[in-house]
Amino acid sequence: MGLFSWLRAKPDQQVASPDVVWLTRSAQVMGIATRLQELVAHAGTKSAVLLVPHFLDNLPSLEAIAAAGEWRDFTATALAEDLARLDSLSSLNETHRVEILVVERHPLRSRDEAIVDFARNLPCRSRATFHMSLDDALLREFSGEWTANVLRKLGMKESEPIESKMVARRLAAAQHQIESRVGRELPASSTQEWLELNAPPRS
């Protein structure tokens, strides 16, 4: 049985969901695994899942999640830049549904928008959701420790994510600012390395 052959759902408009923000990286990984359990448990949703990082350093943990549970037959992992080359996408039609869980934001907003465009252009119902943690290099770049400290003071628990418009706005502004000053882009295997190579602090 192919990755998407089990899916049967009424076509609907594709959407990009609000960002999901976790306090820590470990909480983020556990949260994604829990989301996969929910998708499998609610068989009526008939959703297959793509776990997508922008950078190679996040791929091994996603591959471990994908292989660990009862969802392994309905889950695939791929770098964002490789999404269009997945063989399992060739059989999609309007009866299918695809959940795309992206585990980080790219420093360049255009790279994130490319994933949303990819979801929008699939011939089926689809949704792209970006999962981040306050440990992420990009979030540390623009918020430091203050965001995590404020959220903890407000009672946020590590196991409970938030969908914060404030964080989303500040992140988008930071991404656009970075994009405006990046010239020739050098390849990197992590967000931290990308920032060091392509957007070092201004002197």
**Of 175 and 39, which is predicted with more confidence?**
175
Distances (CA, A) of 51 to 54, 77, 90, 109: 10, 5, 18, 19
Report whether 47 contacts 99 (CB < 8 A): yes
Of 1-15, 67-81, 102-116, 128-142, where does the model show the most confidence?
Answer: 102-116
Determine the pLDDT at residue 52.
97
Grade residue 72 by pLDDT with cuts at 50, 70 and 90. Answer: confident
Determine the pLDDT at residue 10.
45
Determine the pLDDT at residue 29.
92
Q: What residues does each domain of the chain span?
A: 15-198
- Mean of pLDDT values over 141-162: 78
Determine the pLDDT at residue 48.
82
Q: Which residue has the tokens 């969908």?
A: 163
Determine the pLDDT at residue 130.
95
- Mean of pLDDT values over 121-129: 90
**Of 107 and 47, which is predicted with more confidence?**
107
Determine the pLDDT at residue 166.
76
| pLDDT surpassing 80 at residue 181 | yes
Closest CA to 102 of 55, 140, 148: 55
The alpha carbon torsion through 104, 191, 112, 9 (nearest 10 deg) reads -30
CATH architecture of the domain with residue range 15-198 = 3-Layer(aba) Sandwich (3.40)
Determine the pLDDT at residue 3.
55
Give per-residue pLDDT as tens, 73-118. Answer: 788 999 999 998 988 788 888 888 889 999 999 999 999 999 999 9
| pLDDT surpassing 60 at residue 12 | no
Q: What percent of the chain has pLDDT over 70?
A: 89
